[in-house]
Amino acid sequence: MTNEILKGLGGTIPATLPNALRDHGLLVNTAMGLYGWGAELEAVYDGLTSALSAEIWDREPVVLRFPPILPRSVFEKSEYVASFPQLFGAVHAFQGDEYAHESLEQAVTKGEDWSDRTRLTDFVLAPAVCYSVYPLYSGNVVDGGKVVDASGFCFRHEPSTEPGRMVSFRLREFVTIGSPADASTWFGAWHRRSAAFVRRLGLDVRVEAASDPFFGTTGQIMAENQREEGMKAEVVVPIGGHPVAVASINYHRDHFGRIFDIRSTDGEPAHSACVGFGLERLAFALVAAHGPSTARWPHAVRELLWSGRPGAPESADLDPS
Amino acid sequence: MTNEILKGLGGTIPATLPNALRDHGLLVNTAMGLYGWGAELEAVYDGLTSALSAEIWDREPVVLRFPPILPRSVFEKSEYVASFPQLFGAVHAFQGDEYAHESLEQAVTKGEDWSDRTRLTDFVLAPAVCYSVYPLYSGNVVDGGKVVDASGFCFRHEPSTEPGRMVSFRLREFVTIGSPADASTWFGAWHRRSAAFVRRLGLDVRVEAASDPFFGTTGQIMAENQREEGMKAEVVVPIGGHPVAVASINYHRDHFGRIFDIRSTDGEPAHSACVGFGLERLAFALVAAHGPSTARWPHAVRELLWSGRPGAPESADLDPS
């Protein structure tokens, strides 16, 4: 019943999305790489959110949630532009008078390019959640491996019909900031822990060495170095026959400690590492593996996501048939 | 304990924010009008989310959640630019080669204005949630007053230190699309219902005729007309001595029906109305009224937000003292 509109629109969702998602109308598409979702997927996101909280609880994390927007000052400082200029989204706004407004309105109405009618604001779209975390520790000395549980919507400008590649998506990140030993121990431990978590969701898991999509020819060398030095790994699962990374584990060395002036107790720039989980991709993988009816998902998976909590979709059968 | 960073940063939150929020470190500020928040406020947002679900449950709504991004094509069609050019955020991206990248990077490093280095993408920031809803019904005939429960992050470019005026915030909207009678009945009913809901939160409530911040001199006339014709009302509560609108009720006549080609059964463009609740403002008002310790909030308010649900912050005392 709540699904009527989603079902009706199923046919317009890109054909490359997994069959389960397309046919069962769990999403509505609004543009390439951009989707709305219904109560059923929201229950899955809620379940993943609480199951992930249980994974980090023992570390007594600082829990922080962020809006989808990052201050431009933080973004500019972060050196993101140097590495990933092709991915960021900058927020522009109109700041003109009534004459300029009339001209803008005409350009929009005529379907002209109105790129030049706006100016850069003090805001960009958050490319990852942990960029909001580091500046909070600027000028601080951290000891014993600070742990932050952070989440929010992220944006990457890579519109695509590829399953799970979205321009706007939810990222849950566990971040540690501390000594080189703190960060590298964390990095190693989360290879195992993140794979174990995803495996408990009943998914086929591989952990692979990976690299970030650094821009240009220099970027290729940076990516090769990153891979050779084992600085990034991804937890990969199949979605509709495609291998898709649902989590990534990243060791930043002193990159953010240096940029944001965070030090460990020895006075050196702090090291940091993070593990990030893509909630949409995990949800899509769950539907692809276990079917669109969460009521029929394996008992252990349902327990992990909704153990004993009211709001578990016991009766909400996603399968319209 | 989870609050240590928030407390440490309390002093940098703008002084005009309510004392309770500033002193008790419920927020971290990242820029003017932009804040991160901790687990305590997230529990309040969760409580508001489920309490609002209970308000609309009887209407068997289509439940839709949306990312913070709206397709530019929908935005351009919506006529938002005509009315509120000062508020929208357009997403720009870099689409140049390695030479352009080098130049961009230099501009960023030197602190130059890099507005012209990016181009408009196919995406804008969602100015309101219901703009994602109407296009889903394009070409449809709706009967009996379709009801949609929609939510997501919205963006308005009005950076401010005013309490509760944020550039990025969560909006929960209940939308109806149908005949003129469906929409006007809804509009009238939600004057009472939204005020009653906010009153049950233990807040002092006024419902006031209101107008939207239409741009320019023509906009002033539009705002006056809107107010005279009683097309918009706001539910206003005090936050730290300031009157702040925590909900608005809006009657759009056939504006969206006409633009997005939605018809009612008589073949005419459908009418629509919506009520929107600002989750951050409601949460701030709750803290301002009942104090920073949710454990000490009135029993009836706690019941409304967290009735019997695990995860209710029984033991999480927001008061660091």
Q: Which of A201-205, B46-50, B270-274, B315-319 has the lowest mean pLDDT?
A: B315-319
Residues in CB range of A300: below 8 A, 6 or more apart: A200, A202
Work out the minimum CA distance from A62 to partner chain B, whole angstroms. Answer: 4
CA distance B235 to B208: 7
pLDDT at B5 over 70: no
Distance from CA of A99 to the nearest CA of B (A): 10
- Extract the runs of DSSP E, i.e. beta strands, from B194-281: 206-209, 232-239, 242-253, 263-264, 271-278
* Distances from the Cα of A209 to the Cα of A224, A248, A249, A274, angstroms: 11, 10, 10, 15
C-alpha distance from residue A216 to each of A301, B90, B97, B103 (Å): 42, 26, 8, 14
**The pLDDT of residue B10 is above 80:** no
* Mean pLDDT comparison of A3-12, A301-310, B237-246, highest-scoring range: B237-246
All domains in chain B, ordered by first residue = 3-88+127-306 (3.30.930.10), 91-121 (no CATH)
Question: What count of residues does chain A have?
Answer: 321
Long-range contacts (CB closer than 8 Å, 24 or more residues apart) made by A14-20: A14/A161, A15/A161, A16/A161, A16/A162, A16/A163, A17/A161, A17/A163, A17/A240, A18/A163, A18/A239, A18/A240, A18/A284, A18/A287, A18/A288, A19/A240, A20/A240, A20/A287, A20/A288, A20/A291, A20/A292
pTM for the model: 0.91
Q: Is pLDDT above 90 for B214?
A: yes
Identity of the residue in A5, A116, A121 whose CB atom sits nearest the CB atom of B62: A5
Task: Look at residue B13 in the predicted model and tell me its pLDDT.
Answer: 32
Mean pLDDT, chain B, whole residue set? 88
Residue A35: pLDDT above 50?
A: yes
CA B52 and chain centroid, separation: 14
C-alpha distances in angstroms, B301 versus A277, B201, B202? 34, 5, 7
Chain A residue with Cα closest to B40: A63
Encoded tokens for B90: 């357009």
How many CA atoms, within 13 angstroms, populate the side-chain half-sphere of residue A171?
Answer: 28
**Residue A277: which of A21, A29, A51 has the closest Cα?**
A51
Over range B222-229, report the average pLDDT: 94
With a cut of 70, say whether residue B170 has pLDDT above it: yes
Q: Do residues A41 and A17 touch, judged by C-beta distance below 8 A?
A: no
Q: What is the pLDDT of residue B154?
A: 98
Residue A170 C-alpha, separation from nearest chain B C-alpha, in angstroms: 9
Chain B touched by A241 (CB under 8 Å): no
Percent helix, strand and coil across chain A, each rounded to 5?
40, 25, 35
Mind telling me how many Å the CA of A162 is from chain B's nearest CA? 17
Q: Which two tokens stand for residue B73?
A: 């094509």
Confidence at B32, pLDDT banded by 50, 70, 90: confident
Q: What is the pLDDT of residue B87?
A: 97
pLDDT average, residue stretch A243-267 = 96
Contact list in B for residue A138 (CB cut-off 8 A) is: none
Q: Which of A174, A200, A168 is nearest to A189 (CA)?
A: A174
How many angstroms separate the CA atoms of A63 and B43, rounded? 12
- Any B CB within 8 A of A98 CB: yes
Q: Provide, for chain B, the percentages of residues in helix, strand and coil under a 3-state DSSP scheme, each rounded to the nearest 5.
A: 40, 25, 35
pLDDT in tens, A49-76: 999 999 999 999 999 999 999 999 999 9
- Selection from A20-29, A272-281, A311-320, B35-44 with the highest mean pLDDT: A272-281
Higher pLDDT, B308 or A16: B308
Q: What is the pLDDT of residues B231-250, one digit of tens each?
A: 999 999 988 778 899 999 99
Q: According to the per-residue pLDDT averaged within each range, which of A192-196, A293-297, B309-313 is highest? A: A192-196
Length of chain B: 321
| End-to-end CA, chain A | 12
Closest listed residue to residue A175, CA positions, set A61, A50, A278, A267: A61
- Give pLDDT tens digits for A96-136: 999 999 999 999 999 999 999 999 999 999 999 999 999 99
Torsion over CA: B70, B74, B76, B82 (sign): negative
Closest CA to A64 of A224, A157, A171, A212: A171
Report the candidate in A184, A175, A177 with the shortest Cα–Cα distance to residue A270.
A177
User: Does B34 sit within 8 Å of A89, measured CB to CB?
Assistant: no
Contact status, residue B48 vs residue B283, Cβ threshold 8 Å: yes
For position B308, what pLDDT does the model report? 54
Q: Do B131 and B75 form a contact (C-beta atoms < 8 A)? A: yes
pLDDT at B72 over 50: yes
Residue B19, pLDDT > 50, answer no
Q: Confidence class of residue B24 from pLDDT cuts 50, 70 and 90?
A: low
pLDDT, chain A, mean: 87
CB proximity A135 to B under 8 Å: yes
